[in-house]
Amino acid sequence: MSDLGELNRGTVPGAADPVRALLHRHHDLCRRAVDPLEIAAGLEAHGITDRTAARFRHRDVFSLAEELYARVPRDDDPPHPVPPGAAPRDRAALLLPLLPGAVCAASVAALRHTDGETRLYAAAGGILALTLALRAVLRRGPLSTPAHAPRPAATASWTCWLIGYALLGDGLLHLAITGGPDGPPDGTGGGHWPLATAPALALALACAPAAWTTQLFTGRARRRLGSSRGLEDFTASVRPVLLGTVALFLLALTALLATASALLDEPFALPGTLALGALLFLARLLTVHGFTHAPKVILMITAGAQATALATVFAARLPGCADLSAPVETLTAWHPAAVPALTCGAAALTLLVHASRRLPRASAHLPPGRAR
Partner 1 sequence: MDNRPSRHHLFRLRSSRCEPPDQRRLPTREIGGAHVRIGLLTESGYPYVGGEGGLWCDRLVHGLDRHEFDVYAFSSGEAQEDAGWVPLPPQVRRVRTAPLWAVEDDGVVFGRRARRRFREHYGDLTAALCAADDPATPEADRFATAVHGLAALARYEGGLVSALRSETAVRALERACRAPGARRAAREARVPDLLTVAAHLECALRPLSLDWYEEDGLGAVDLCHATAGGAAALPALLAHHFFGIPFLVTEYGVRLRTHYLTRPDSPPAVRSLLAAFHGGLAAETYRRAAFITPGNTHARRWQERCGADRAKLRTVYPGMDPAPFADVGESPREADPHTLVWVGRVEPAKDLVSLLHAFAEIRAAEPKSRLRIIGGPSGPEGAAYLGHCRALAAQLFPDEADGPHAVGDNPVSFEELGGPGPATSADAHAAGAVTVLSSVVEGFPVGLVEAMLCGRATVSTDVGAVVEAIGGTGLVVPPRNPRALAGACVSLLRDPERRSRLGAAARARALELFTVDQNVAAFDGLYLETVARTPVRHLVLDHTGDPLPFAAPAEAHVPGHWTTDPGPRAVPRWAMDTPVPATETAR
Give the interface with partner 1 as residue ranges (CB under 8 A).
1, 3-5, 8, 32, 34-35, 37-38, 41-42, 44-47, 49-51, 60, 62, 77, 79-80, 82, 85, 147-150, 225-226, 228-231, 233-234, 290, 293, 361-363, 365-367, 369-372
Nearer to partner 1, 8 or 157 (CB): 8
Do the beta carbons of residue 148 and residue 292 sit within 8 Å?
no
Rounded CA separation 81/107 (Å) = 52
- The residue among 145 and 312 lying less far from partner 1, judged by its C-beta, is 145
**82, 226 in Cβ contact below 8 A?**
yes
Q: How far is the CB of 282 from partner 1 (least distance, A)?
A: 19
In whole angstroms, the minimum distance from the beta carbon of 176 to partner 1 comes to 39
Helix, strand or coil, per DSSP, at residue 177: helix
List, as one string, the DSSP characters of 214-243. HHHHHHHHHHHHHH-SSHHHHHHHHHHHHH
Give the nearer residue to partner 1 in terms of CB position, either 66 or 186: 66
Nearer to partner 1, 238 or 316 (CB): 238
Cβ-based neighbour number of residue 252 at 10 Å: 19
In the complex, the smallest distance separating the C-beta of residue 6 from partner 1, rounded to whole angstroms, is 8
Q: C-beta of 55: minimal distance to partner 1 in Å?
A: 10
Nearer to partner 1, 24 or 370 (CB): 370
Q: Cα(37)–Cα(63) distance, rounded to whole angstroms?
A: 10
Dist. CA 298–CA 67, nearest whole Å:
62
CB closer to partner 1, 32 vs 317: 32
Nearer to partner 1, 81 or 179 (CB): 81
- Give yes or no for a contact between 137 and 211, defined as CB atoms under 8 angstroms apart: yes
Residue 57 Cβ vs partner 1, minimum distance, rounded to whole Å: 18
- CA–CA dist 89, 222 (Å, integer): 14
SS3 13: coil
Distances (CA, A) of 111 to 46, 120, 132, 192: 73, 8, 19, 16
Q: How far is the CB of 279 from partner 1 (least distance, A)?
A: 23
At residue 295's C-alpha, the angle toward residues 137 and 242, to 5°, is: 75
Query: How far apart are CB 2 and partner 1 at their closest, in Å?
Result: 9
